[in-house]
Amino acid sequence: MELKRQLLFCCISLLQLLHCRSEHSSIGFATVALCPDISALPSRHAKSKMLCGTACSAPTWTATCSTSPVRPDSATLATRPARDSDLRQRVRASAEPIAEQLSLKMLYRFGTHGLENAADPSKYRLWSGSATTIDAQGAHFVEDSNSFLMAATPCFEGFFNVGHKFSIFVRAKHPMNIDGTYMTMRECVGNKVSQDFYTYDRNFWHDMYWPPQPKYVLTKSGNVFTRSSSVALVSSGMTYDTNGAAHYFFNGSMHPAMMASPDSSGTLTNSRFQCIELGGYLKTPRYSVRGSMSCFAMSTRLLTQAEFVQLDNWCKQV
């Protein structure tokens, strides 16, 4: 009995390993479910057309978007490509060159690409809570529990394990006195968060747990802006070397991170944080961005100041 159990565990571990390995390899043409081009969808659905579920949960569009609760709108089916090969071509055609240059796993420019990941349209397509709207200016968030964007990110948490490096970038517009969440890595169903990038009290903050260690680190940018209720444009980012230092990027300059609480033991025991959430925090309205986000990106290396500026410029091209 004991042996059987071990064998079974071993098989499951192997399967997970294989699954995660394929996540990291760079396959040019995977057969994927791809939503129709946003631009091809009927414009009177100005809001709902951006909901991934609307476009993709119909029988012909499976997998990537099936987690959305939204029912398909039959009108969107008309834009379905005729054959598999068309589908693959379109996947290839829409990957942006800057993604490879800056090692981006995620790149969203909502005004032009809707909820599609411009770094690799076959992965991490977002879906939208019902209170979030998208237009040419970007994704708009309000103080409402249904205001957020989410994507399933299977195996993604490996990019943040100890020994790795990563960077996050956000271009947003919001009042400068909010406690607003740009990004969390979280459980898809449960309410635990392993990582949190947000703005609060003149600082940008990053909160990180590593369940396997377990370890907990909270850093902040220092007072890089003043508290104000007027809406301002913000280009913010952070780089994180899990062996050491973090840096923050704000409106063109880099700032070394300040440790906001000493390294300590984490409290999380689970390591399955397989979703990303943007613009909101676990359906808690007071942590909404309360403004718009035009761009979001994540890289698997430390971006330089010049590279953040390059990314910011790419995000402006709308």
Q: How far is the CB of 232 from ligand NAG (least distance, A)?
A: 4
The residue range among 60-68, 109-117, 145-153, 231-239 that interacts with ligand NAG, by the rule CB under 6 A, is 231-239
Nearer to ligand NAG, 137 or 274 (CB): 137
Please identify, using beta-carbon distances, which residue of 79 and 251 lies nearer to ligand NAG.
Answer: 251
Q: Can residue 309 be called a binding residue for ligand NAG (CB under 6 A)?
A: no
Residues 315, 172 contacting (CB under 8 angstroms): no
232 makes contact with ligand NAG (CB under 6 A)? yes
- Identify which range of 77-85, 110-118, 189-197, 227-235 contacts ligand NAG by CB under 6 A: 227-235
Q: Which residue number, 119 or 172, has a Cβ lying nearer to ligand NAG?
A: 172
Applying CB under 6 A, which of residues 251, 274, 300, 310 lies at the interface with ligand NAG? 251
By CB under 6 A, tell whether 233 contacts ligand NAG: yes
Which CB, 95 or 176, lies closer to ligand NAG? 176
User: Helix or strand or coil: residue 64?
Assistant: helix
What would the two tokens of residue 240 be?
A: 């994180």
Contact 132/146 with Cβ under 8 angstroms?
yes
- Report if residue 234 touches ligand NAG, rule: CB under 6 A: yes
Give the residue, chosen from 176, 254, 258, 309, that forms a contact with ligand NAG under the rule CB under 6 A. Answer: 176
Binding span for ligand NAG by CB under 6 A among 59-67, 114-122, 225-233, 270-278: 225-233
Instruction: Answer yes or no: are the C-beta atoms of 204 and 302 closer than 8 Å.
Output: no
**What are the tokens at 196?**
């949190």
Which residue in 138, 90, 95, 91 sits closest to 115, CA to CA?
138
The residue count for binding ligand NAG (CB under 6 A) is 6
Give residue 68's Cα distance to chain centre.
Answer: 16
Evaluate whether 6 touches 13 at the Cβ level (below 8 Å). no
Q: Hey, which residues does 254 pair with through a beta bridge?
A: 249
Task: Report the distance separating Cα 60 and Cα 102, nearest Å.
Answer: 33
Judged by CB under 6 A, does residue 155 bind ligand NAG? no
Q: Is 93 left (phi over 0), alpha (psi -120 to 50) or beta?
A: alpha
Q: From CA 219, how far away is CA 203, in angstroms rounded?
A: 10
Q: Does the footprint of ligand NAG cover residue 200 (CB under 6 A)?
A: no
CB closer to ligand NAG out of 73 and 312: 312
Closest separation in Å from C-beta 288 to ligand NAG:
18
Helix (H, G, I), strand (E, B) or coil at 93: helix
Q: What's the rounded Cα separation, in Å, for the pair 260 and 216?
A: 11
Of the residues 225, 266, 271, 310, which one makes contact with ligand NAG according to CB under 6 A = 225
Binding site for ligand NAG (CB under 6 A): 176, 225, 232-234, 251
